[in-house]
Chains A and B, each alone.
Chain A
Amino acid sequence: AQKITQTQPGMFVQEKEAVTLDCTYDTSDQSYGLFWYKQPSSGEMIFLIYQGSYDEQNATEGRYSLNFQKARKSANLVISASQLGDSAMYFCAMREAFYNQGGKLIFGQGTELSVKP
């Protein structure tokens, strides 16, 4: 069954330090995509980074990188040099290709990140 697990309900990090947000997933599909989104208190979901199941290299987007370990089914988000504006909820999500799953994203429960000055 498709499932995303985020085991850290809340995390604190000091400003300018790096932080890793954990995500594990379960799927029987060979083709899938993993996404990370940020949701500030305003409610809008902001796309951060994407990793495809066939991508051999870890994805990076600015201060965001994805530590993808396919055999372990994990896709952890690493935020380098944390900023106060990084305080938000972070969601890991998966989208499968099988049967043309199209727009269906499966989300984890989220991790609330607080950046301390």
Chain B
Amino acid sequence: KAGVTQTPRYLIKTRGQQVTLSCSPISGHRSVSWYQQTPGQGLQFLFEYFSETQRNKGNFPGRFSGRQFSNSRSEMNVSTLELGDSALYLCASSLDNWYNEQFFGPGTRLTVL
């Protein structure tokens, strides 16, 4: 079974630009979650999508948004990039229950100059 894939793997943007990251979950997984990882703040939950609906949201500004398509693939968008948005963005997929483990993709490393 193919794992979680994320594209692109690396991205360099400048302040003020916007970016879209993509995540393809494991086949059969309908829940897709996004996390931001930085050296200072650690791993922080961004949001979760399930059956094309946002089910959970972390404490991030509205510049961070996402969506999920009918095939469970998900995208996240960051508008008006700031230097502090430089991070590793991880996507994870899982089955629907709270006791199911999440499987992570390799991440997208975003650098904002």
On A, residues with C-beta under 8 Å from B are 31-33, 35, 37, 42-47, 50, 52, 91, 93, 95-97, 100-110
Chain B interface secondary structure, helix, strand, loop or mixed? strand
Residues of A within 8 A of B88 (CB): 43
- A32 to B98, Cβ gap below 8 A? yes
CB distance from B94 to the nearest CB of A (A): 6
Bound-complex Cα distance A101 to B96 (A): 10
Pull 22 A–B residue pairs with CB atoms less than 8 Å apart, ordered by A.
A33-B99, A37-B104, A42-B106, A44-B104, A44-B105, A46-B104, A95-B98, A95-B99, A97-B99, A100-B98, A102-B50, A102-B96, A102-B98, A103-B32, A103-B50, A103-B56, A104-B45, A106-B45, A107-B42, A107-B44, A109-B42, A110-B43
Q: Are B43 and A107 in contact (CB under 8 A)?
A: yes
B 65-113 contacts with A by CB, 8 A: 88, 90, 92, 94, 96, 98-99, 101-107, 109
Task: Give A37's nearest chain B residue, CB to CB.
Answer: B104
Residue with the greatest number of chain B CB neighbours at <10 A, chosen from A45, A102, A103? A103
